[in-house]
Amino acid sequence: MALWSTQFADGVVVARYGHPPMNYFCAEGAQELARLIEQWRAPEVRAIVLCGVPGGAFITHYSVEELLALASDDEQLRSVGTALNRGYHALLLALRDLPKVVIAAMNGNTMGGGLELSLACDIRVGERGDYRYGFPEVRLGIIPGGSGTQRLSRLIGASRAAEFILRSRVVDPDTALALGLIGELADDALAQACSIAREVAALPPKAIACAKRAIYAGSDAPLAAGLEIESAAFLETLLSGDSRKAMQTYVDLPFAARRRWLERG
């Protein structure tokens, strides 16, 4: 059964996750997503939007039933070891490292593995409504093991992430915005995410790819090393035809028209 469905138009892929009745993430969903990520490397794909099918959930969280089955067999658990985590980490790193913009349209409950998936996206758009975002793992006797402890601490700082995770917090969308878990709220997260996707799909792809690489590789390195990563990425953009074309378009404009060109959506 296919848990992900996709549509493609104007350089933008919209991928919807549907796993009734609760929209839990699972091993099958992760395997399907891994295959899709490889397809999204195609040059005609310029931006990706991830969302849940209508019904109140982006990805509610990872299937506790699957985790409980694994935890109930000590021999199997020891044989699997940390490979379970490493596989999910690799999946989310592959998503993050796509050289194009990935947007999470969090159109419903987004907790646990679903929140970890959204944190691997470049942009997160929340949706107003009676939804919850968070990491309830400690309440279940586990921890966010799919990169949640690491990604959240890098996003909002170790102290705030510790408070959030250790209290096993789940919050409404307004609180998530205030905490910095999401970048913005919309009445329709998918519509807003698609609008952003079309905007970035029109931007020079080399600059998008290089900016992502500089941001993420640099953020995992000391400042001096990060600056070298940035410098190499900057040079790569200058050497591209995209940059020369875009900058020439800009300098050909009269001075009075230049700010409007820069701020256009």
- pTM equals 0.95
Helices (H), the chain: 27-39, 64-71, 74-80, 83-96, 113-119, 148-156, 158-166, 173-179, 189-201, 205-219, 223-238, 241-251, 255-263
Per-residue pLDDT tens over the stretch 50-70: 999 998 899 999 999 999 998
Average pLDDT over every residue of 77-100? 93
Strands 123-127 and 133-134: unpaired
Q: Give residues with Cβ within 8 angstroms of 83, minimum separation 6.
A: none
Q: What is the pLDDT of residue 88?
A: 95
Per-residue pLDDT tens over the stretch 7-52: 999 999 999 999 999 999 999 999 999 999 999 999 999 999 999 9
Per-residue pLDDT tens over the stretch 165-208: 999 999 999 999 999 999 999 999 999 999 999 999 999 999 99
Helices (H), 168-222: 173-179, 189-201, 205-219
Q: What is the pLDDT of residue 101?
A: 98
Per-residue pLDDT tens over the stretch 127-164: 999 999 999 999 999 999 999 999 999 999 999 999 99
Asked if 33 contacts 95 with a C-beta cutoff of 8 angstroms, the reply is: yes
Looking at the chain, the whole-number percentage of residues with pLDDT higher than 90 is 91
Strands 57-59 and 109-111: parallel
Q: What is the pLDDT of residue 76?
A: 84
Q: In which band, very low, low, confident or very high, does the pLDDT at 84 lie, cut at 50, 70 and 90?
A: confident
Q: CA 156, CA 25: separation in Å to the nearest integer?
A: 24
* Residue 136, amino acid: P
* Residue 221, amino acid: A
Q: What is the pLDDT of residue 265?
A: 45
